[in-house]
């Protein structure tokens, strides 16, 4: 194990540190031990993570199989691995850089037998899981309006993310809805087991159970992963936090990178309080705050700082940038959604006609999918081409087309 280079100009010239700002270099060169990197939006957190991994490989003599880097999407994992390969070469190709679910699946493929599962278990994706929940709902004769398959699946998923098993849910159910949800959960798990299958949430829950019930398995995986790094730490749920905690509890070489200010996935079970749990579980941790933003102008950051500063219990952080000034932010208080859509469409047209802005250079953000309808209507009426990213145009959505089909039939019974 090598000591970190002192923070000097010569250190900044190291190939793996070149181009990093002083705080980023501090994170990359941090000594072994628990490190929490509070990374503001646009502060280069992915760069810090990839350079940290490369630094461990090149300067600390860590073997590639001794590093576990966890993120939330296959795309992010692939990009992270590619960047590390660019920095240190093909030795990084076979590293464990993957999503939580993928890593847990690999662990269970080796150790599922310790939990009474076959190593060749099937993994149900969300569509498979929803279909099975629907079968269970029908067989239990539950009212489909009161208990939709999706709401039941969400309830089961939420329980699993909070490490609540089917039997625990049944014992703790306190009202009629919870009792019925627990009945579905119990039967759903029975049928999964009957099919030698698990769902995505089980991958996490079963690894927690494996580590709790088998000290031998836990120590083996702890011994393998000498360094654990976690991206988007604010998006972890309780099960994911437990996996990280148990793996790193002994050697404590764990780096979490996240920002509670960017926590937006609570509806999926994410718990930003895991950052606080991290601080409590590893009281000797080093905290490094990345505040320099490379993405936005100072006007945007000043507005963001003013808004987010009202959040209670947040870690102190104030984003700044070398891109001073920038265009002012315009706030328009619309009377209703129609007025809002008209303003957006008119402003868009002004940018195109007067300022020479191209259609592809304009983005419209909205909080919920339902809000797109009125805006889309205005754009269609004005002949403005557009596409919906990460979704379907409002009038192309299946449920909307079904409703429109019924309405057409009412208006014109001959319309087939």
Burial of 25 (0-12, 13-18, 19+ CB in 10 A): buried
Which pLDDT band holds residue 375 (cuts at 50, 70, 90)? very high
Question: pLDDT digit string (tens) for 126-140?
Answer: 999 999 999 999 999
Handedness of CA 69, 206, 151, 167 (dihedral sign): negative
Higher pLDDT, 415 or 303: 303
**Residue 50 pLDDT > 60, yes or no?**
yes
Q: What is the mean pLDDT of residues 246-272?
A: 89
What is the distance between the alpha carbons of residues 24 and 44, in angstroms, rounded to a whole number? 8
**Beta strands of 156-309 (E only): which ranges?**
197-199, 227-230, 254-258, 286-290
**Residue 106 pLDDT > 80, yes or no?**
yes
**Residue 394 pLDDT > 70, yes or no?**
no
- Return mean pLDDT, the chain: 91
Nearest Cα neighbor of 295 from 265, 326, 317 is 326
Q: What is the pLDDT of residue 72?
A: 92
Q: What is the pLDDT of residue 403?
A: 80
State which of 144-148, 268-272, 405-409 shows the largest mean pLDDT: 144-148
**Percent of the chain scored above 70 by pLDDT?**
93
Which pLDDT band holds residue 269 (cuts at 50, 70, 90)? confident
Q: What is the pLDDT of residue 167?
A: 97
Higher pLDDT, 128 or 408: 128
Question: Which CATH superfamily, name and number, covers 9-106+205-292?
Answer: P-loop containing nucleotide triphosphate hydrolases (3.40.50.300)
Q: What is the pLDDT of residue 317?
A: 86
Using the structure block, give the residue that is written with the tokens 């004769």: 141
Q: What is the pLDDT of residue 260?
A: 86
| CATH no., domain 122-195 | 1.10.10.160
Q: What is the mean pLDDT of residues 345-365?
A: 93
Helix (H, G, I), strand (E, B) or coil at 35: strand
Q: What is the mean pLDDT of residues 283-302?
A: 95
**Percent of the chain scored above 90 by pLDDT?**
77
**Residue 243 pLDDT > 50, yes or no?**
yes
Cβ neighbours of residue 73 closer than 8 Å, sequence gap 6 or more: 99
Cβ neighbours of residue 144 closer than 8 Å, sequence gap 6 or more: 137
Q: What is the pLDDT of residue 1?
A: 35
Higher pLDDT, 416 or 158: 158
> Quick one: tokens of 18?
């070149």
CATH 1.10.10.160 occupies which residues in the chain?
122-195
CATH 3.40.50.300 occupies which residues in the chain?
9-106+205-292
Q: What is the mean pLDDT of residues 169-194?
A: 97
Q: Are strands 67-71 and 35-39 parallel, antiparallel or unpaired?
A: unpaired
């Amino acid at each position: 194990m090598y000591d970190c280079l002192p923070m000097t100009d010569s250190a900044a010239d190291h190939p793996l540190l070149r181009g990093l700002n002083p705080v980023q270099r501090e994170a990359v060169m941090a000594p072994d031990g628990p490190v929490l990197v509070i990374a503001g939006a646009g502060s280069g957190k992915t760069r810090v993570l990839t350079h940290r991994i490369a630094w461990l490989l090149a300067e600390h003599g860590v073997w590639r199989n001794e590093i576990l880097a966890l993120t939330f999407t296959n795309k992010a994992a692939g990009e992270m691995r590619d960047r590390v390969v660019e920095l240190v070469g093909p030795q990084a190709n076979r590293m464990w850089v993957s999503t939580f679910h993928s890593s847990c699946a690999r662990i269970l493929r080796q150790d599922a037998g310790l939990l009474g599962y076959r190593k060749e278990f099937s993994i149900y994706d969300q569509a498979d899981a929803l279909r099975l929940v629907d079968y269970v709902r029908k067989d239990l004769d539950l009212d489909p309006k009161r208990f939709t398959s999706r709401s039941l699946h969400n309830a089961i998923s939420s329980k699993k993310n909070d490490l609540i098993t089917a039997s625990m849910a049944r014992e703790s159910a306190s009202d009629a809805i919870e009792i019925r949800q627990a009945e579905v959960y119990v039967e759903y798990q029975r049928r999964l087991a009957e099919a030698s299958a698990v769902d995505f949430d089980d991958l996490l829950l079963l690894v927690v159970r494996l580590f709790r019930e088998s000290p031998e398995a836990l120590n083996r995986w702890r011994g393998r992963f000498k360094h654990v790094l976690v991206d988007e730490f604010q998006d972890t749920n309780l099960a994911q936090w437990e996996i990280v905690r148990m793996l790193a509890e002994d050697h404590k070489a764990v780096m979490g990178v996240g920002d509670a200010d960017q926590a937006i996935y609570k509806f999926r079970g994410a718990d930003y309080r895991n950052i606080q749990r991290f601080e409590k579980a590893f009281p000797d941790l080093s905290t490094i705050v990345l505040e320099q933003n490379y993405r936005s102008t100072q006007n945007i950051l000043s507005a963001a700082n003013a808004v987010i500063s009202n959040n209670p219990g947040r870690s102190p952080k104030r984003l700044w940038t070398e891109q001073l000034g920038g265009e002012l932010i315009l706030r328009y208080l619309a009377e209703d959604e129609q007025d809002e859509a008209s303003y957006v469409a008119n402003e868009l047209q002004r940018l195109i006609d007067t300022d020479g802005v191209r259609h592809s250079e304009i983005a419209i953000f909205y909080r919920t999918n339902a809000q797109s309808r009125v805006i889309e209507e205005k754009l269609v009426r004005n002949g403005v081409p557009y596409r919906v990213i990460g979704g379907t145009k409002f009038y192309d959505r299946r449920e909307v087309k079904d409703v429109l089909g019924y309405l057409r039939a009412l208006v014109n019974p001959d319309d087939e």
